[in-house]
């Protein structure tokens, strides 16, 4: 299949186009990961009466999909995901929260990050150390959003 002024698409792309898929759907933005590890935050969390009267320390990991190419090329912080801003916002939110379950808190953190920061995908891990005797770590891991975005949805140019 020869296209005027363009090189033929790779075999997989050609096959997909032949069965009706748009070429733009097949070009996805490659996503890099910006992360925070062991973000230490004290909050009220737990189902027991004694847990509702104290603040417990949680350790939070957050992975966020983003495209860092512009920042890498410019070497300017304005062109990247500001992980300090994410950290401050999450710490503020968690320290003011009073959820019973770490599952609920993880969902709320993921929703906050997806809503307030330019990321299409987030992974949140919450570690409630000490919740189970003899366990080094106890908690949840959730992923929300999509790791890649299509050119058609974003309007951004991608490499083939």
Span 61-102, pLDDT tens digits: 999 999 999 999 999 999 999 999 999 999 999 999 999 999
Q: What is the phi/psi pair of residue 107, to 5°?
A: -60, -45
Taking the C-alpha atoms of residue 79 and residue 151, their distance in angstroms, rounded to an integer, is 19
pTM (2 decimals)? Answer: 0.75
Q: Rounded mean pLDDT of 2-14?
A: 47
Taking the C-alpha atoms of residue 90 and residue 93, their distance in angstroms, rounded to an integer, is 5
**Would you say 21 and 150 are in contact if contact means Cβ atoms under 8 Å apart?**
no
On the question of pLDDT at 9 being above 50, the answer is no
Taking the C-alpha atoms of residue 148 and residue 46, their distance in angstroms, rounded to an integer, is 35
**Every domain of the chain and the residues it spans:** 1-29, 32-147
- 83 vs 31: which has the higher pLDDT: 83
pLDDT at 45: 97
pLDDT at 13: 52
* Catalytic choice (40, 128, 129, 147): 128
How does residue 29 score in pLDDT terms, banded at 50, 70 and 90?
A: low
pLDDT at 31: 83
**Would you say 29 and 82 are in contact if contact means Cβ atoms under 8 Å apart?**
no
**Would you say 40 and 34 are in contact if contact means Cβ atoms under 8 Å apart?**
no
Active site residue 88: no
**Would you say 24 and 150 are in contact if contact means Cβ atoms under 8 Å apart?**
yes
Q: What is the CATH number of domain 32-147?
A: 3.30.1130.10
């Amino acid at each position: 299949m020869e296209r005027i002024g363009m090189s033929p698409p790779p075999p997989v792309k050609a096959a997909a186009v032949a069965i009706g898929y748009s070429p733009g759907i097949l070009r996805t933005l490659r996503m890099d990961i910006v992360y925070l590890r062991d973000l230490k935050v004290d909050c009220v969390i737990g189902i027991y009466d004694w847990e509702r009267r104290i603040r417990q320390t949680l350790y939070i990991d957050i992975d966020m999909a983003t495209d860092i190419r512009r920042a890498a090329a410019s070497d300017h912080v304005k062109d990247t995901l500001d992980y300090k801003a994410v950290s401050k916002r999450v710490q503020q939110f968690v320290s003011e929260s009073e959820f019973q379950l770490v599952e609920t808190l993880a969902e709320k953190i993921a929703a906050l990050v997806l809503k307030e920061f330019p990321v299409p995908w987030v992974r949140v891990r919450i570690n409630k150390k000490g919740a189970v005797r003899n366990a080094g770590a106890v908690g949840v891991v959730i992923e929300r959003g999509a790791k890649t975005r299509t050119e058609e949805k974003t309007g951004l140019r991608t490499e083939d």
